[in-house]
């Protein structure tokens, strides 16, 4: 690990990784003694690694897997199996929520119907359902497996377009407010490679298959650019991100305070608008559509 000027054997690496995770949790006051933690589990290396690490550190965290209904390559089915395998190993509860049952349609259909990019629709639905489920089941903290590559790529994307509103809210910890639960990212110190290594060395099987809808995601491009910089100048990724969250983000947060939240008129979940974006997406996806039919009117259209 050139950025840490450190070389560890396979026995010492997992111990170092756990120490660093614990240090991040303490430094950012991510988990308090009375907290109930819910890990957002996707079946990938980051979320499974995080759930395992929290378990090893003694945190009694449960998992929530969202079945997105992605049938291509049996993506959702296989990723759920990996999540369940780890739940059995660490003897913690894995909750499973089906997006189709909650929203009436799987994620790909929701994205199509609402004319959104799949990753954008998926992200909105995930944030919504994780928060809703956690609130309804008494959890106080939602933990996600976002790593340094994720955060640095997001930062780069937001800087390139000076999305100051998003920049003001990019932090390893987002405190709870107005119906939004506290969100934590205990893996922000680690690169994706470091997380993958931890997961592999602990023999945790995870889904290596790509989400079939991630084609063209701009975050992948930024990750690649950042890795090229990192190859030439080790430590740059961490410096870029850590200096931002320590020095710049607090200033932006003060200058650009978050807009007030109010309950959604449909579902009661917090939103800045009268109706939240997920309810709007759900309505568009489930509303009756005009289709060509033999029994159509003179314009060839009928309501089904």
d(CA 204, CA 202): 6
**Residue 78 makes contact with another protein by CB under 8 A:** no
Distance in angstroms (rounded) separating the CA atoms of residues 283 and 107: 14
Residues 6+ apart with CB under 8 A from 164: 252, 255, 256
Residue pair 147/46 in contact (Cβ under 8 Å)? The answer is yes
CB closer to another protein, 67 vs 230: 230
Determine whether 91 is exposed, middle or buried from the number of CB atoms within 10 Å of its CB (0-12, 13-18, 19+): exposed
Of 147, 131, 153, 127, the C-alpha closest to 218 is 153
Q: Per CB under 8 A, does 265 bind another protein?
A: no
Query: Which residue from 109, 192, 253, 283 is in contact with another protein, where contact means CB under 8 A?
Result: 192
Q: In the set 74, 228, 291, 293, which binds another protein (CB under 8 A)? A: 228
Here the tokens at position 45 are 């290396």
Query: 81, 208, 302, 303: which one contacts another protein (CB under 8 A)?
Result: 208
Q: Is 5 in the site for another protein (CB under 8 A)?
A: no
Q: Rank residues 214 and 272 by Cβ distance to another protein and give the closer one.
A: 214
User: Residue 20 interacts with another protein (CB under 8 A)?
Assistant: no
How many whole angstroms separate alpha carbon 160 and alpha carbon 52?
A: 35
Q: Closer to another protein at the Cβ: 45 or 132? A: 45
Residue 242 CB, nearest approach to another protein (Å): 17
Least Å distance, CB 220 to another protein, is: 4
Interaction between residue 101 and another protein (CB under 8 A) = no
Would you count residue 102 as binding another protein (CB under 8 A)? no
> Does residue 155 belong to the site contacting another protein (CB under 8 A)?
no
Q: Which of 230, 249, 277, 285 binds another protein (CB under 8 A)?
A: 230
Under a CB-based contact definition with an 8 Å cutoff, are residues 141 and 184 in contact? yes
Which range, of 130-138, 168-176, 179-187, 207-215, touches another protein by CB under 8 A?
Answer: 207-215
88: nearest Cα among 208, 230, 262, 204: 204
CA distance linking residue 1 with residue 248, whole number of Å = 27
Going by the DSSP 8-state scheme, the letter that residue 247 receives in this structure is I
- 246 is written with which tokens? 């320590």
Closest distance of CB 49 from another protein, Å: 11
221 binds another protein (CB under 8 A): yes
User: Applying CB under 8 A, does 151 fall inside the site for another protein?
Assistant: no
Rounded Cα distance between 86 and 202, Å, is 11
Binding of another protein by 227 (CB under 8 A): yes
**Residue from 72, 77, 201, 301 binding another protein (CB under 8 A):** 201
Based on its alpha-carbon atoms, the radius of gyration of the chain, rounded to whole angstroms, reads 21
Q: Is 210 in the site for another protein (CB under 8 A)?
A: yes
Asked whether 275 and 264 are in contact (CB, 8 A), the reply is yes
Give the interface with another protein as residue ranges (CB under 8 A). 7, 10, 44-45, 149, 191-193, 195-197, 200-201, 208, 210-211, 214-217, 220-221, 223-224, 227-228, 230-233
């Amino acid at each position: 690990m050139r950025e840490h000027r450190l070389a560890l054997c396979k026995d010492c690496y997992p111990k170092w990784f756990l120490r660093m995770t614990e240090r991040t949790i303490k430094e950012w006051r991510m988990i308090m003694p009375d907290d109930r933690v819910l890990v957002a589990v996707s079946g990938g290396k980051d979320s499974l690694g995080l759930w395992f690490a929290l378990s090893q550190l003694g945190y009694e965290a449960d998992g929530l897997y969202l079945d997105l209904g992605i049938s291509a390559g049996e993506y959702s089915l296989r990723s759920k199996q990996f999540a369940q395998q780890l739940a059995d190993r660490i003897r913690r509860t894995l909750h499973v929520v089906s997006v189709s049952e909650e929203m009436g349609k799987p994620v790909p259909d929701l994205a199509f119907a609402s004319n959104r990019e799949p990753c954008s629709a998926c992200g909105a639905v995930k944030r919504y359902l994780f928060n809703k489920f956690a609130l309804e089941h008494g959890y106080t903290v939602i933990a996600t497996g976002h790593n340094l590559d994720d955060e640095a790529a997001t930062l780069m994307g937001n800087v390139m377009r000076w999305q100051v509103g998003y920049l003001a809210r990019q932090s390893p910890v987002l405190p709870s407010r107005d119906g939004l639960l506290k969100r934590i990212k205990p893996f922000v110190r680690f690169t994706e490679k470091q997380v993958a290594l931890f997961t592999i060395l602990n023999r945790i099987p995870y889904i290596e298959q790509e989400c079939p809808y991630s084609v063209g995601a701009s975050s992948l491009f930024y990750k690649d650019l950042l890795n090229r910089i990192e190859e030439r100048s080790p430590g740059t990724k961490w410096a870029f991100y850590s200096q931002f969250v320590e020095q710049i983000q607090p200033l932006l947060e003060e200058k650009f305070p978050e807009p007030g939240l109010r309950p959604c008129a449909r579902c009661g979940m917090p939103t800045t608008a009268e109706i939240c974006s997920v309810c709007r997406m759900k309505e568009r996806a489930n509303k009756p559509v005009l289709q060509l039919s033999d029994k159509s009117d003179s314009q060839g259209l009928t309501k089904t």
